[in-house]
Structure 1
Amino acid sequence: MYVGARTLAEEVAGLVRIPSVNPLHAGPRAEEYGPVGEGAIAARLAARCEAAGAREVVLDEVLPGRPNVYGLFRGRSDRLVVVDVHTDTVTVESMTDPPFDGRIEQGSVWGRGALDTKATLGVLLALLDSWHRAGLRPEHGLLLVGSVGEEAGGLVGATRFRPWAEQRGLRIDRMLVAEPTEFRPVHGLKGLVLVEVTAHGTASHSARPDLGANAVEAMAPVIAAFVAEQERLGALPAATELGNGTVSVTQISGGTGSNVIPERCSVTVGRRIVPGEDPDDVLARLADIARAACPVPCKVTSLLPRTPDGRAGSPAFYQPPDSDFVQYLARAAGTAPAVAPFGANALRYSGLADELVVFGPGSIEDAHQDTERVAVADLVRLAGILTGWLAPG
């Protein structure tokens, strides 16, 4: 059943107009538009699922005021498919456009989240509403998951959804995780271990550095050691299309004044991991590197919540590209299977479904920018692909 371009665009625009900035990306500009977080869009999603005929809608509070939403729709068979769409967005503090106006112009819907990932959410809601009004059901049961906390905070929504699904004994045949992939079915993602390394020195007057232990200077060999680790990783042979693991120092802080020898300095270190690497082993190696290089006492703290099975970070996600679902989406979209270096909720879902794919319109390179938009033509294209997959009747 065809749903028009204008209907699809207006559904996406309506979602963009609901601010849902991840609280870890909050700032004065975001707060001008109301409370940050996913609470408002969760309420909208729940209401839209109910209006579209969901047989069950669950608001599952992951963090205060930040619920996941699970909308379960009846199908014409006992099989179950899942579409996971994260409801949070990144910061709007540097945006040069009005961040939440959701205007439709120049063939696009504009505003934060339009591409990443309210496009998929809006298109699917428009389809479900249209099918419901026409008395149609998807071929298989459909569970729509609106998950919080994908953009920052350790994929907490996905971390919560997995045990919820397992406790209910859900058998998931196919799962689509919405992200901008240029309509390429992504079958592999690098995992992540994220740590903070803190050097603890001794403060003194800067005129008497001999009386102190400079924590900022102590961090210099630690950073150099991580640079050397990145060079080592780059020289390793790649086991899959995902290539090698990488390590990057991404943030640094320390010092209290220009005339005080700093007693503390911290850096944030991100380690992307590939298939075959265990997050706990990677965490242990990062800690060993830091402690061996730091001339003063240092502490290494994992910044990610533990996975449901207790690991310190997200293992890589990978499945062979000859998966039936991967191949179906590639044919439907006219693209080729791919892998990607970015993180996504799929890192929490390995093994939860028989087949798992990351997929959606637009490019990840256009996300998180000072402007954000999704082409209306891509919404129409996505609607056709989802309709072919879900096969309403």
Structure 2
Amino acid sequence: MSVRELTRDLVSIPSHQDETAAGDYVEDWLRRETDADVTRDEVGNVIARRGTGGESLALVGHHDVVDPAASQLDAGGGYVVDEREGRLYGRGAADMKGAVAAAMLAFRDADPAGELVFASFVGEEVGGVGARHAIEHGFAPDYAVVGEGSTNYSGPDVTDVAVAHRGRRGSTITARGTAAHASEPDAGENAIYLATDAVEAIRDLEAPRVTVAGEPLEGQVTVTEIDGGSGINVVPESCTLTVDERTVPGERVDLETVADLPGVEWRVDQDLPPMRCGDDRFAERVLEVARAVQSDVSNPPELVTKPHATDAGWLAQAGTECVVYGPSEPGEAHTATESVSIRVLERCLETYRRLASAET
């Protein structure tokens, strides 16, 4: 079975609301095609292991996807998969069933020097549910290649090696005042005014910036929603803001200072960690293999940074040295025209196989 065929099979399986069928396929394929120790945990993660001794390397992906567009569904509610001009189109082709297919084949075909691990997690699109569960239950490879997108970052027609990415912290800020009739505003305390003080404080915060592999990785903090008030003639007693913060390795915006303002409360709703590979030897090894596989491209792969959070953040936080290397290109994931290059899938398969094999 080719990576093209395996990707088509995986993409055709709906997995935006329930990942069970896609997990069944991955599990059954691994049991049929390999002699690995294959497990399926309580939340639906599929994890397989081959080889013993030495350092452990994991090939990591996820088989859940975001909700499909109407054009990506057939009449029966299945996923449409289309192939044209050397690309596969369909929900999950880029993010990230193509990389999962490449990792499955590489896991099967490699001759590992130590322990080789394959993991396809659930719930990546909703905060890393599967990765967090696996880590809490002992998933701790020494190294991991996470197959999220790293293609066409440094230039066209190249799959780069991402050694860092941003995280995301989502917060709610609530301002609490005292209601009063709007004809006597001084009888109350206007929560919207308190909230605007918080907005001004956030606008004055300086987002952190770090340099990784010679590239700047910049944080951001943005107020994205505001909700307050109950009527045209009522001084509002509450007002809520949502804040989207893009975090960088080792640094945070000081939102605690905003929480110190009078009448303001701060709650963290989601905190997806950033990632930075701390092992230069591992990063350079992956880059060396990537360059060998892509010796025919005009621009050789580079070490780059990535703006989006991935499960590599959870793994890195737990102590695994990670890089991101995968076929998805900027602008493909989560779109109604999502697609992936078959040639790049083959490139990723060969890179994963060489990295996982004793010969490298």
When the two structures are superposed, what TM-score results if normalisation uses the length of structure 2? 0.81
- 2:134 corresponds in structure 1 to 161
CA contact (8 A) 1:187 1:320 kept: no
CA distance, structure 1, for counterparts of residue 306 and residue 338 of structure 2: 21
- 1:50 corresponds in structure 2 to 31
Deviation at 1:118, TM superposition (A): 0.8
- 1:198 corresponds in structure 2 to 174
Describe the shift of the 1:82–1:261 C-alpha distance in structure 2 as closer, same or farther (beyond 3 A): same
- 2:80 corresponds in structure 1 to 101
- 1:391 corresponds in structure 2 to 357
Is 2:149 the partner of 1:180? Answer: yes
Describe the shift of the 1:77–1:266 C-alpha distance in structure 2 as closer, same or farther (beyond 3 A): same
Deviations 1:322-377 (A, max 9, x none): 53433334423431111122211111222756642111012233222232111112
**Matching residue within 110, 120, 129 for 2:99:** 120
Secondary structure of the residue that 1:233 maps to in structure 2?
A: coil
Describe the shift of the 1:105–1:315 C-alpha distance in structure 2 as closer, same or farther (beyond 3 A): closer
**Matching residue within 59, 64, 72 for 1:88:** 64
Describe the shift of the 1:266–1:61 C-alpha distance in structure 2 as closer, same or farther (beyond 3 A): farther
Deviations 1:286-335 (A, max 9, x none): 1322442xx5x222111136xxxxxxx62542436553433334423431
CA contact (8 A) 2:273 2:317 kept: no
CA distance, structure 1, for counterparts of residue 48 and residue 60 of structure 2: 11
- Tell me the amino acid that sits aligned with residue 46 of structure 2: V
Describe the shift of the 1:37–1:214 C-alpha distance in structure 2 as closer, same or farther (beyond 3 A): farther
Identity of paired residues, percent?
28
Deviation at 1:109, TM superposition (A): 1.4
CA contact (8 A) 2:87 2:341 kept: yes
Describe the shift of the 1:336–1:216 C-alpha distance in structure 2 as closer, same or farther (beyond 3 A): same
Residue ranges of structure 1 left out of the alignment (5+ in a row): 22-35, 306-312
Describe the shift of the 1:8–1:289 C-alpha distance in structure 2 as closer, same or farther (beyond 3 A): same
CA contact (8 A) 2:89 2:339 kept: yes
- Tell me the amino acid that sits aligned with residue 243 of structure 1: L
Deviation at 1:162, TM superposition (A): 2.2
RMSD: 3.1
- 1:12 corresponds in structure 2 to 7
- 1:326 corresponds in structure 2 to 286
CA distance, structure 1, for counterparts of residue 233 and residue 81 of structure 2: 49
Mapping for residues 1-393 of structure 1, pairs under 5 Å: 7-21=2-16, 36-62=17-43, 67-72=44-49, 74-75=50-51, 78-92=54-68, 95=69, 97-99=71-73, 100-128=79-107, 131=109, 137-153=111-127, 155-165=128-138, 172-182=141-151, 183-203=159-179, 209=185, 212-229=188-205, 232-233=206-207, 238=210, 240=212, 241-256=215-230, 261-277=235-251, 282=253, 285-292=254-261, 297-304=263-270, 314=273, 316-319=275-278, 323-331=283-291, 332-333=293-294, 334-350=300-316, 355-391=321-357
- 2:156 corresponds in structure 1 to none
Describe the shift of the 1:327–1:123 C-alpha distance in structure 2 as closer, same or farther (beyond 3 A): closer
CA distance, structure 2, for counterparts of residue 335 and residue 9 of structure 1: 23
- Tell me the amino acid that sits aligned with residue 304 of structure 1: Q
Describe the shift of the 1:201–1:41 C-alpha distance in structure 2 as closer, same or farther (beyond 3 A): farther
